[in-house]
Amino acid sequence: NLLIPYNDFLDVHFVEAVDGRQFSDEQLSKIWNQEATYKNYGRYMKGGEIGVSLSNRKCYGEMIKNNDEMALFFEDDVAFKDDVDLRKILSLLVNVLRTEKPTVVLLSGSYWFTSSKKISGTDYQLASVFEAMGAMSYMINQVAARKMLSVEKKYLADDWYNWRKNGIKVYALRPHIAGDMDLFGSVIAAGSEGWKRENLSFKNKIRAYYRGIIRRYLGSTGHWEARK
pLDDT given at position 66: 94
pLDDT given at position 1: 61
Residue range 169-181, pLDDT digits in tens: 999 999 999 865 5
Q: CA-CA distance, 79 to 38, in Å (whole number)?
A: 34
Q: CA-CA distance, 113 to 211, in Å (whole number)?
A: 12
| Residue 11's pLDDT band (cuts 50, 70, 90) | confident
| Residue 182's pLDDT band (cuts 50, 70, 90) | low
Residue range 18-42, pLDDT digits in tens: 999 999 999 999 999 999 999 999 9
Whether residue 186 has pLDDT greater than 50: no
pLDDT given at position 137: 92
Name, in order, each residue with C-beta under 8 angstroms of 86's C-beta and a sequence gap of 6 or more: 6, 80, 177
Cβ atoms of residues 151 and 166 within 8 Å: yes
pLDDT given at position 159: 95
Residue range 203-219, pLDDT digits in tens: 999 999 999 999 999 99
Segments in 46-165 forming alpha helices (H): 47-65, 86-97, 142-150, 160-165
Residue range 64-117, pLDDT digits in tens: 999 999 999 988 778 788 778 888 888 899 999 999 999 999 999 999 999 999
Among the listed residues 223, 60, 50, the one whose alpha carbon sits nearest the alpha carbon of residue 132: 223
The mean pLDDT of 6-21, rounded to a whole number, is 84
Q: What is the pTM of this model?
A: 0.89
